Chains A and B, each alone.
Chain A
Amino acid sequence: MTLAAGIGYVLLALGPSLALFVTLISTKPFLILVLLSSTLLWLISLIVLSGFWKAFLPIKTSAWWPYVILILTSVVFQEGLRLVLWRGYKKMEDMLDAFADRVAKPRLYLTDKMQIALAGGLGHGVAHAVFFCLSLLTPSFGPATLYVDKCSYAPFFLISAIISLAFVTIHTFSMVIAFNGYAQGNKSDQLIVPAIHIIAGTLTLVNLASSGCIVGIPLLYIVALSTLAYCGKMVWRRLTETQIRLTPQNQ
């Protein structure tokens, strides 16, 4: 539906990420590199998954259980990759601290570490939005639009952009939660991230039913907003803890 609509869909899916990028990440070159590496890693994960599933696609039956297996295997694989990302990040953190000592600058602050986690999560979100939503938006720059049978309330592009926005939020902030959980050894943080991912993935299965998106998409947004709230609470808790530790005690 013309260039304006196409750009509108792009901004709908990626607008908040663009805002985060411009304000937080573009001023620090290292975070841009973290974002690019994270996007690369998740792209590789998608390619590996697609290579594995190539033999079984296209799914001809209209039954829903092949899709369940698809979602579950993909989510499990991606969560495993998150652990790999954490290991790499630990090594990088040691190198960064050694470098900071050598050039007589302060070591990584807590906020620096959280910003690196945020950049990593944003990379994941951007990879999702680009490959699941943006790459299919090319027809929307033309004169017509497209509707899906199962969800004919709005054009396909709009629905896919809305779902991508929810997923970008989920991915961005669950990386922050996960990295904090691994750093502190907090089991509940560590387990909640895969749980959120699986719940979000299975919620999209609801879209398979006819008119299921009416139920599926608001539930997905509830998950996204609760991820956001949980992350905010956790960050607040960590920052105030650190403040209390650093404020000199009055004797």
Chain B
Amino acid sequence: MDQNHRNTGILHTLGEEIIRIITPVSICMLSVVILVSILDKDSSLSSSVSTIATIAYTETTSDSEWDKFKGALLNSLVFVAVVTVVTFLLVVLFYFNCTKFLKYYMGFSAFLVLGFMGGEIGVFLIQVYSVAIDCFTYVLLLLNFTIVGVLAVFMSKIPIFVTQSYMVVIGVLTAYWFTMLPEWTTWVLLVAMALYDLAAVLLPGGPLRLLVELAISRDEDIPALVYEARPVIDPRSNATVQRRVWRDRPVNVEAQSRPQVDTETVGSSRNVEEGRVNELSVPLIERLRERGVEPESLGLEGIGLASTGAIKLGLGDFIFYSVLVGRAAMYDFMTVYACYIAIIAGLGITLVLLAVYQKALPALPVSVMLGVLFYVLTRFFLEDFVVQCSSNLLMF
């Protein structure tokens, strides 16, 4: 066997889909961390954000810790309640086939996020860096940017790189706004949303589970803001198929000469605008088509590394991961690194669980729980240890 003539080994392609999702998640988190570091230094910009998440209690630094915790709990309960109500509303609308209305609403939300939130953050940046720009030019640029973004969300004829970039930008902007909430509220809210995600997807009466079952039974897309890694090529017609969440294909027993394209769907999507929260959530789903009979352990296919379909991740996951990392950045960079690794590990574990259980799974809980755990451990244990060792130039 001559080394020069060998085929490319499996290492070149294995795990490609996971990397295609980890890259935009990492870019989103990095952007939020950079935004937080730049804009946090100037404390004159921080104004108390009054959204639905702070309606119950506004945190002040003079309260005791127990009061802060109780207030944060109240805030999160209100937020989760609103989210639940809106998700049920979405299920009802989807049941009555108001898909057009939902799509228009998605476009409208994208317009609000990109136009108003993006505009305000742009103004902050202009203030910090003293950029010389007049308001007419700025409005013109912003308007163009926003309209292209809305088109990217609406239409599928836009090049996929543009759509992906706009998804990441929407995630970054929304996540930055969430980091402006008070500290205790943010952490308790993250944990509450993770628990809500778990309940909504796995419990029999959960709204997301109903949504998924409705969409599967009708073989339709859920109208939601979802990040797609790449378009799926249909091997039968050899054309780019309209990107679908599920593909119901009859299992062809005799024509198994090539592996079927497995369509994996990952995600829970949240559609957030300033002041009001609306929820469009798509849980984590995988449809792994059996190739003939494979009773023994699936090995690498079983852990999701070998699938060749396109992975989709809902924008809500992007947003909440970035909120966690952004909040960690407000403390110190050591927590940022630890939380980043924890979230990526959680995402990997969720994908593995997805391939093992092969039913709808929520993408938030594992990552958020690991992220919060690592934040607490790093802040209270690791930092002292490392500072003590490093300041004496003692390393191992």
Chain A 121-136 residues near chain B, CB threshold 8 A: 128, 130-136
Q: How many residues of B contact A (CB 8 A)?
A: 50
Q: Contacts A54-B381, A96-B10, A197-B396; is A29 near B15 (CB within 8 Å)?
A: yes
Give the contacts of A202-218 with B (CB-CB under 8 A). Answer: 204-205, 207-208, 213, 216
Which of B8, B13, B14, B342: most chain A CB closer than 10 A?
Answer: B14
Main SS class of interface, B:
helix
Contacts of B218 in A (CB 8 A): none
- Cβ of A95 under 8 Å from chain B: yes
With A95-B299, A108-B9 already in contact, the answer to whether A32 and B15 are too (CB < 8 A) is: yes
Contact with B along A20-34 (1 / 0, CB 8 A): 000000011111110
Given contacts A29-B19, A148-B391, contact A57 B384 (CB under 8 A): yes
A160 at the interface (CB under 8 A from B): yes
Are B333 and A33 in contact (CB-based, < 8 A)? no
Flag if B337 contacts A131 (CB, 8 Å): yes
A204:B18 contact, CB within 8 angstroms: no
- Interface flags, B378-392, vs A, CB<8A=1, else 0: 101110111111111
Give the chain B neighbours of A99 by CB distance below 8 A: 10, 14, 299-301, 306
A sample of 5 cross-chain residue pairs with beta-carbon separation below 8 angstroms, ordered by A number, consists of A32-B15, A43-B341, A96-B10, A98-B300, A204-B393
Contact B299 A207 (CB under 8 A): no
Q: Is the CB of A138 within 8 A of B332?
A: yes
Instruction: List, in ascending order, chain A residues with CB within 8 A of B385's CB.
Output: 46, 49-50, 53-54, 57
CB distance from A142 to the nearest CB of B (A): 10
Give CA–CA (A51, B7) in the complex, Å: 48
CA distance in complex: A116, B10 (Å): 12
Min CB–CB distance B289 → chain A (angstroms): 16
A200 touches B396 (CB 8 A): yes
User: Nearest chain B CB to A173's CB is how many angstroms away?
Assistant: 16
CB proximity to B under 8 Å, residues A150-199: 150-151, 156, 159-160, 163-164, 167, 197
Contact present for B394 and A151 (CB under 8 Å): no
Does B338 make an interface contact (CB < 8 A)?
Answer: yes
From A47, A102, A128, give the contact of B395 (CB < 8 A): A128
Total number of A residues with any Cβ neighbor in B under 8 Å: 71
Contact A207 B394 (CB under 8 A): yes
In the complex, besides A28-B11, A160-B390, A204-B396, 6 extra interface pairs with C-beta distance below 8 angstroms are: A29-B19, A36-B348, A46-B386, A58-B388, A103-B259, A128-B395
Given A46-B382, A71-B394, A207-B393: A33 touches B19 (CB 8 Å cut-off):
yes
> CB-CB < 8 A to A14: which residues of B?
none
Near A by CB (< 8 A), chain B positions 18-62 give: 18-19, 22
Q: CB < 8 Å: which of A29, A135, A204 contacts B333?
A: A135
Residues of B within 8 A of A205 (CB): 394
B16: Cβ under 8 A from any A Cβ: yes
CB <8 Å contact, B396 and A201? yes
* Interface 0/1 of B322-335, CB less than 8 Å to A: 00000000001110
**A96 in contact with B300 (CB, 8 Å):** yes
Residues of A within 8 A of B14 (CB): 29-30, 96, 99
B392 touches A132 (CB 8 A): no
A51-B381, A53-B385 known; A148+B396 contact, CB < 8 A: no
Given A95-B300, A138-B332, check contact A47 B378 (CB 8 Å): yes
Residues B334 and A70 in contact, CB atoms below 8 Å apart: no
Digitize B291-313: 1 where CB-to-A-CB distance is under 8 Å, 0 elsewhere: 00000000111000110000000
Q: Is the Cβ of B394 less than 8 Å from the Cβ of A67?
A: yes
Q: Are A135 and B334 in contact (CB under 8 A)?
A: yes
